């Protein structure tokens, strides 16, 4: 085995380790995160890279902030562009509204996206929604 194969296998084992430990030892989340962190420290000492683990709440309701509205916020906008994936877009929008209250969020997506999600976005007061039609090559 060469070093690249060894590193891939090591990385795979590091990624799977917390799940295996959680299942076998019924570890708490904090212990799993500490194990992952230690694994990342080992990887960093053996490679030329930094590694990180990100843990974020899935729901906007689980994010707590000390929100404030600055002059900068009132003169700014957030742009979101892309497909509407299940509730991800709506939850992201809620996060932005919580972190930046009063800031306009421009959402640009395809007109053919999920109609139910589009209707939810249209009801939001802080959202400016742009729906684009998919162009065919012949349209050019």
The residue whose two tokens read 């050019």 is 140
Q: Catalogue the E-assigned strands of the chain.
A: 77-81, 104-110, 127-132
Distance CA 43, CA 95 (A): 32
The residue whose two tokens read 């906008």 is 77
User: Domains of the chain: which residue ranges?
Assistant: 3-46, 60-139
Bridge-partner residues for 78, per DSSP?
A: 105
Question: Is the predicted pLDDT of residue 131 greater than 90, yes or no?
Answer: yes
C-alpha atoms less than 13 angstroms from C-alpha of 99 in its C-beta half-sphere: 12
What size, in residues, is the chain? 140
What pLDDT digit, counting tens, does each position of 3-61 carry? 777 777 777 777 777 667 666 666 677 777 787 888 888 888 888 887 877 777 888 88
């Amino acid at each position: 085995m060469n070093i690249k194969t060894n590193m891939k296998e090591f990385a795979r084992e590091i990624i799977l380790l917390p799940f295996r430990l959680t299942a076998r030892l019924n570890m708490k989340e904090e212990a799993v995160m500490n194990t992952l962190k230690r694994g990342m420290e080992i990887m960093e000492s053996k490679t030329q890279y930094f590694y990180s683990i990100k843990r974020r709440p899935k729901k906007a309701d689980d994010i707590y902030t000390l929100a404030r509205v600055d002059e900068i916020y009132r003169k700014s906008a957030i742009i979101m562009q892309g497909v509407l994936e299940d509730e991800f877009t709506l939850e992201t929008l809620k996060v932005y509204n919580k972190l930046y209250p009063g800031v306009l969020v421009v959402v640009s997506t395809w007109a053919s996206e999920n109609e139910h999600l589009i209707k939810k976005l249209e009801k939001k007061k802080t959202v400016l929604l742009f729906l684009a039609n998919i162009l065919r090559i012949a349209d050019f």
